[in-house]
Structure 1
Amino acid sequence: MAQGQLKKTKAPATKLTQRIQTGNRVIKPKKTALLKQQTMSKKHTAGLAALTEKSLASRAGHLELLRGGKRDKKEKDAAKQAAALKGK
């Protein structure tokens, strides 16, 4: 005759739903001249990307200034309030 209650079974472990993405595999060059060339090109491409980002950001900021941002809106509101106070 059984003594005590039956043990409950554990729930199955949850599986990872998202796949971990790995970057492209880079084969490093074996020759020192090619290794130096690769490091230089990597450095220069990073600099070019940074300059491109900076120029795009400055152009986007310039466009926002042309269109009129918060500052122009505040100046209009201040002018309206000043006109309303003079009218009283």
Structure 2
Amino acid sequence: MTHYLVSEENPTGLKLELVLMALRREVLTRCTKITDDMRPEAQQVLANNIKILEHLSEAIKLAENSTHILDKAFGPSQADKGGPPRIGT
């Protein structure tokens, strides 16, 4: 069973891209809180977070592309209404 994503078992879940966007927003918020901290540790954490933001942005693009492919091939998801998955079992 999924905890965050929409599925047959979790019809009120979210699309993957929305979960990733929320996570990106939180990481970005943390970045803004440490930008003025000039300690080497804070600057390394900031640099790491910036790289993480890049990866999250790429993952969002991939998730959006997958949604587009599924929407085009099978129509909108009906999982939130108890419908079957569009692909897979």
Normalising by the residue count of structure 2, what TM-score does the alignment of the two structures yield? 0.41
Larger-Rg structure: 1
Normalising by the residue count of structure 1, what TM-score does the alignment of the two structures yield? 0.41
